[in-house]
A and B are shown apart, each in its own frame.
Chain A
Amino acid sequence: MEDSAKAYWSATLGLLTKILIVWFLVSFGAGILFAPALNSIHLGGYPLGFWFAQQGAMYIFIALIFYYRKKMGEIDRQFDVHEE
């Protein structure tokens, strides 16, 4: 039980870390730090860095939360700690 609880928590932390890396890359990375470089690429009429800061990051945030919900549900069932 003790070991299973530890394994569950480290699986959870692993998932959170992966998601936070993407979260950081799309907003602080593409939207701010690399925005000037990305602006030379165009997505339709959008300079890419500008697009990430004012559109793209938000779409990816939504996708991240639903991905988290799905994966977390799988981890819950795998370690048998899901709700009835």
Chain B
Amino acid sequence: MELQTTIYLVVGATFALYIAIALWARAGTTSDFYAAGGQVGPVMNGMAIGADWMSAASFISMAGLISNMGYGGGLFLMGWTGGYVLLAMLLAPYLRKFGKFTVPQFIGDRFYSKSASTVAVLCLLVASLTYIIGQMTGVGVAFSRFLGVTSETGIYVGMGIVFVYAVFGGMKGITYTQVAQYCVLISAYIIPAIFISIQLTGNPVPQLGLGSNIVGQDVSLLHKLDLVVSDLGFANYTTSDAGGMLNMFVYTMSLMIGTAGLPHVIMRFFTVPTVAAARSSAGWALIFIGLLYTTAPAVAAMAKTNLLRTITPGVVMGNADPYAADSQLVYAERPDWMKRWEKTGLLKWEDKNGDGRIQYYNDKSKNDAFKAKAEGAGWKGNELTVNADIIVLANPEIALLPDWVIALVAAGGLAAALSTAAGLLMAISAAISHDLIKNVFVPDISEKNELLAGKISMAVAIVIAGYLGLNPPGFAAGTVALAFGIAASSLFPAIMMGIFSKKMNKEGAISGMLAGLFVTLFYVFAAKGIFFIKGTEYVDLIGGPNSFFGITPEAFGAIGACVNFAVAFIVDKMTPEPPEHIQAMVESVRIPRGSGAVSGAH
């Protein structure tokens, strides 16, 4: 059977499964629609959180990023998992005890203020909409690379599938499809990793393979990789950090608290029956997420090794001289997978010194000794550009795995993008139908009409997401950082103070959220333009790029969070205490007993 046919069959089968689940899990009540009836078990919820969390970026791009960054890439691994420890202990159980459908509802009730809830809705909408653009383009990318259709068609098909299960099933339909999508995406990630680990190190467990010796050599994979990349003028793989130790520290912290504050993840904790179940779901979620996240660094290092092995076989698998002319691959003899990916434009070769061989090295190296060697070898600049996404997508082909594995990777990428998109759409539609329509505009809306409003907002959100996916604004690349920055600087501190500080009042919380948000946006926009519009950067005004202790805009959320906390406590000290009944409410949120089913009552 042809590869293309196999891919259509596998992807088609997963889509049929998602639709079958959607037909079975339709939402009949608002409780079904917002919280899957509140009856999802912790293990199931853990899997659904895993699929909700692991986006197209985690699945397709993360290993490639780590592969390029080396040790510094660990900031994504620690940041995106460490946040779950905060979520599990500081937020999830208490929000579950509070027992309402949405995050803005908690903020509005706790700070006895519709303005507070409206600010939270605003933060939620900006964070979720920017995040969803990446998912939609991810769907388009997966379709166009694997299924041979345009990325527009891909986005329409993706919208259609999400429409079926998200609009009719709400949180209930989304939960059960996410469980199925988790299974698809994790097998698609791990199976190729196991094969590659066996080929390179003889160890079938990628996490152990990364710490093993290369097959047939008495040197560990990581040490060999260090040697080869530094011979090619790159920074040492196991020690190259991301913009200095301080930046790595702050970046990791921003991702952690951003993770804990993202509403589409928090919402999933409202679907379990008890506080105890909320605590264990976080643990299960991290096990399921950890499976992929501990495999990713192995994929990253091994794919890098495989790439270098393809280009300079004798250097990686033996001790050949990297600068000798016959060490580098002759372009005409390149393997088939390179030819296939050249067609997509993700892999490019340009023969700068006209020797017909591929030179892949860091031509921007500042090391004089290396520059002299490169010049001595007659290298005239790096000749190969490799898009980071190839690291995962081409993995099965590089390792010569059978067609069904390639098809599975296609289905996995789509599952990752669709499941995250659905979770985000759920957070968006709940914020609109519950926090805006019911809470602010039509307080006496009937249950039936609120359900209808929820479904309509979901449908509208899907159309908007699809539109943004089809016409990605120029700022698409910077958006995920923005989503984390907003969650870290506004939502996380507000929720945390709502639980851990009984005396925090509405004035403090609102000014804290606005201050945190403002500072973060100010720093991000300075470098990337106001709302990412080109030409509106004002980076010189704040003293040049990364002027705040060398911290990059992506890493700034943690600083925004500190500002939020500080402003909130100062304002809180100058304004009246919250009313008695609010303080009593905080007391009751802190203890598990008496947790009821989640509801939307005000």
A39 to B238, Cβ gap below 8 A? yes
Q: How far is the CA of A82 from the CA of B277 in the complex (A)?
A: 12
**B595: which of A28, A55, A83 is its contact (CB, 8 Å)?**
A83
Closest chain B residue to A57, Cβ basis: B78
* B212 and A36 form a contact (CB under 8 A): no
CA distance A45 to B290 in the complex (A): 21
- Interface size class of chain A, counting residues whose CB lies under 8 Å from the partner chain: 35 or more
- B287 touching A32, Cβ below 8 Å: no
User: What's the nearest-Cβ distance from chain A to residue B573, in Å?
Assistant: 21
Is B312 engaged at the interface, CB distance under 8 Å to the other chain? Answer: no
Contacts of A32 in B (CB 8 A): 245, 248-249, 252
**Cβ-based interface call for B49 (8 A):** no
User: Does B230 have its Cβ within 8 Å of any Cβ on chain A?
Assistant: no
B52 to chain A: closest CB distance in Å? 17
B385-393, B524-532, B585-593 - the one binding chain A: B585-593
Residue in B closest to A54 when the chains form the complex, CB atoms: B297
Closest chain B CB from A1 CB (angstroms): 10
A-B residue pairs in contact (CB < 8 Å), sample of 25: A5-B591, A28-B252, A31-B252, A32-B245, A43-B211, A44-B212, A45-B222, A46-B211, A50-B71, A53-B74, A53-B77, A57-B81, A58-B293, A61-B286, A61-B290, A65-B84, A65-B282, A65-B286, A68-B88, A68-B279, A72-B93, A72-B279, A73-B276, A81-B593, A83-B595
Selected contact of B82 from candidates A5, A49, A61, A68, CB within 8 Å: A61
Docked pose: A69 CA to B283 CA in angstroms: 8
Q: List the B side residues contacting A5 at CB < 8 Å.
A: 587, 590-591
B150 within 8 A of A: no
**In chain A, what residue has the closest Cβ to B246?**
A32
Give chain A nearest CB distance to B412 CB in angstroms: 20
CB neighbours (8 Å) of B238 from chain A are 39, 47, 50
| Contact A61:B81 (CB < 8 A) given known A8-B591, A28-B253 | yes
In whole angstroms, what is the CA distance A21 to B276 when docked?
A: 23
**Contacts A19-B89, A27-B252, A54-B74 given; does A62 touch B286 at CB 8 Å:** yes
Tell whether B114 is near chain A: CB-to-CB under 8 Å: no
Q: Is the CB of A58 within 8 A of B294?
A: yes
- Residues of B with C-beta under 8 A to A84: 593
Interface majority SS (helix, strand, loop, mixed), chain A? helix
Q: In the complex, which of the residues B85, B248, B591 contacts A81, with contact meaning CB atoms closer than 8 Å?
A: B591
- B-facing residues in A23-71 (Cβ within 8 Å): 23, 27-28, 31-33, 35-36, 39, 43-47, 49-51, 53-55, 57-59, 61-62, 64-66, 68-69
Interface residues of B in 64-81 (CB under 8 A from A): 66, 71, 73-75, 77-78, 81
B591 touches A47 (CB 8 A): no
Cα–Cα, bound, A81→B593 (Å) = 5
Q: Which residues of B contact A61 (CB under 8 A)?
A: 81-82, 84-85, 286, 290
Give Cα distance in the complex from A84 to B274, angstroms: 10
Q: Which of A19, A33, A50 contacts B249 (CB 8 A)?
A: A33
User: In this complex, which of A9, A35, A43, A54 has the most chain B Cβ atoms within 10 angstroms of its Cβ?
Assistant: A54
For B211, give its contact among A9, A31, A51, A68 (CB under 8 Å): A51
Residues of A within 8 A of B84 (CB): 61, 65
- Residue from the list A19, A27, A55, A81 in contact with B297, Cβ < 8 A: A55
Among A45, A65, A69, which residue has its beta carbon within 8 angstroms of that of B213?
A45
Q: Told that A54-B73, A65-B85 touch, could you supply 7 new A-B pairs with CB distance under 8 A?
A: A31-B252, A54-B77, A59-B294, A65-B89, A65-B283, A68-B85, A68-B279
B21 at interface, CB cutoff 8 A: no
Which residues of chain B are near A19, meaning CB under 8 Å? 85, 89
List the B side residues contacting A64 at CB < 8 Å.
85
Do the beta carbons of B222 and A47 come within 8 Å of each other?
yes
- Whether the pair B283, A62 counts as a contact (CB closer than 8 A) is yes
Q: How far is the CA of A84 from the CA of B275 in the complex (A)?
A: 11
Min Cβ gap A27→B in Å is: 5
> Does B5 have its Cβ within 8 Å of any Cβ on chain A?
no
Complex contact B220–A44 (CB within 8 A): yes
B207 in contact (CB, < 8 A): yes
Contact B290 A62 (CB under 8 A): yes
Say yes or no: is B115 at the interface (Cβ < 8 Å to chain A): no
Chain B residues contacting A8 (CB-CB under 8 Å) are: 590-591
Q: Is B365 an interface residue (CB 8 A)?
A: no
B287 cross-chain contacts in A, Cβ below 8 A = 62
Asked if B90 is at the interface of the complex by the 8 Å CB criterion, the answer is yes
B245: chain A residues within 8 A (beta carbon): 32-33
B90 CB, nearest partner CB in chain A, Å:
7
Task: With CB as the reference atom, state the residue of chain B lying closest to A46.
Answer: B211
Are A82 and B211 in contact, with the CB atoms below 8 A? no
B 556-602 contacts with A by CB, 8 A: 587, 590-595
Q: Tell me the complex Cα distance, A73–B280, Å.
A: 11
- In angstroms, Cα B287 to Cα A63, docked, is 9
Give the CA-CA distance A58 to B286 in the complex, in Å: 9
The answer to whether B4 has its CB under 8 Å from any CB of chain A is no
Whether the Cβ atoms of A82 and B297 lie closer than 8 Å is no
Question: Most chain-A CB neighbours within 10 Å: which of B74, B211, B249, B274?
Answer: B74
CB within 8 Å for A39 and B82 given contacts A12-B590, A82-B592: no
Tell me the bound Cα distance from A43 to B71 in angstroms: 16
Interface 1/0 per residue, A3-19 and B, CB below 8 Å: 00100110010001001
